[in-house]
Amino acid sequence: MRNQREDRGAVTRRNALAGAFATLGWSAFHQPEAEAQERAEGAAPIAPRERIRITRLETILVKPRWLFLKIHTDAGVVGLGEPIVEGRALTVATAVKEIAPYLVGKDPRRVVHHWQAIYRHAFYRGGPVLTSALSGIDMALWDIKGKALGVPVYELLGGPTRDRVRVYAHAKSPAQIKRGRELGFTAFKTTPAKRRPARYVETLGEVKYAAERFAALREAAGDDVDVAIDFHGAISPATAKLLIKAIEPYQPMFVEEPCQAQNHDVMAEIARGTHLPIATGERVFTKWGFREVLEKRAATILQPDLCHAGGITEVRLIAGMAEAYYAAIAPHNPLGPISLAAGVQLAASIPNFLCQEQVSLGEGYLKTPFTLREGYLDLPTGPGLGVELDENAMADKIGHDWTNREEFDADDGSVVDW
C-alpha cells in the first residue's frame, strides 16, 4: 500500500501535467486521461485482448506551417500523427473533427479496418484534404498500436529491411551544399535557378543560367554526393525537356515533377526522352493514383507523402506496387518530425527505399531528435513511431497562419506556379 508521500507525489505529477497542457492553450486535458497517461508511461505493453478505446482527437497548429494530431485513449496511450495540406491547415483540422465521431469509442488497434471505413464511407472519396486527414489519423493509429504492443511500427510490418535510413537535405547554393556536407549529409535536393518565373517556352539564356547554376552545385558536392533537382511542377513540358537536356551531363539523382503532375501521359513522354530518373508523387494520392503513374511509366521514383497519400497503411501498399515495376520509393516530406518519424518506419520496412526527404530532425519539437550519421538516421528503437513531443520546447511554436505563396509574372501580371 502506498504511503502518503507517494500519494502526494502522484497528485503533484498529475497536476503538473494538466497545468502544462492548460498553459499551452490546448484543449482541456481531462483528469481521467491524465491519470491513465501517468500509468501508461511506466506500464508494460497493453495485452492484445485488453480493452482500449479512443476518447478524443486533438489537432494542434505548430509553427512554421504544420498540423499535429494527438489521438487519446482511455488506456493513457496517445498516438501522434501529422494531417496537413500546406496552406490549408484549418481545413484539414476541420476534416479531422468531422471524422472524430466515427473513431471515438472504438478500439484504435484495428488500423486497416478504420482506414477502409474512413475512406470508403466518405462516398466522395480521396482528394488532398480528406486523404491528408486520413493520413494523419493512420499514422497516429499505428503509433498507438506499436506503443500498445511495445514495439516499433516497422516490427509490425514484417521487421526491418535495413539498419539505417538515408536522408537528404535542401540546398540552393554551393555554400549550402558545403555546409550540409559538414553536417554529414550525402544527398541534397535543389530547384532550377531562375531570374524570373519560368515562361512556357524559355530563352536560351535562362536555360544556360539554370544549367550553369546546377553545374556549380555539382562541383561543390563532388561526384560521390547525390544532388536531385525539383522542377516543382512549375515548368512547362516544352521547357522541361530543354532543362533536362542541359543538366544531363551533371547526372542529378532524379528530376522531380518536371511538369504539372496531373497528366501522367505528359510525364511519361518526358521520361522516355531522358536517361535521368523521373520522380513524382507529392500530389498523387492513394494506390489508385500511383497505379496510373506506374502503368504509364511516368516515373521510376515514386514520392508519396505519408501526410497526403494515405498514411503508413497506404504508402506501404504503394511501395509494393512500385516494387513490381522496379521503381523506388523516396518519400516526400517538407513537413514536421512526426511525418519524418512515419517515413523512417516505412523506409525501414520496405525493400525498394531510396532516400527520405526532411527539413527538420526534430530539434525543438522532439524529446530526442533524430541524429544524422554519415547521411543516415539510425532506426528508432522506441515503440510506435519512436518519438515523443517535447511539450516545453514547443510552447513558443503553437499557432500559425502560414499561407501558400502568390506569384505573378513581372512583365504581364499573369499567375505563375511557384
Residues 6+ positions from 337 with CB-CB distance below 8 Å: 360, 361, 362, 365, 366, 369, 370, 387
In terms of Cα–Cα distance, which of 283, 288, 290, 312 is closest to 137?
312
Would you call 232 a catalytic residue per the annotation?
yes
- 148-170: b (≥16 Cβ within 10 Å) or e: bbebbbbbbbeebeeebbbbbbb
Cα–Cα distance, 12 to 31 (Å, whole number):
13
Cα–Cα distance, 163 to 182 (Å, whole number):
23
Indicate which residue of 30, 170, 232, 400 is catalytic: 232
User: Cell for 89?
Assistant: 491547415
- Terminal CA-CA length for the chain: 64
Would you call 30 a catalytic residue per the annotation?
no
Look at the alpha carbons of 395, 369, 53, 7 in this order and tell me if their dihedral is positive or negative: negative
391 and 24 Cβ atoms separated by less than 8 Å:
yes
Indicate which residue of 72, 264, 308, 332 is catalytic: 332
The catalytic residues are: 232, 332
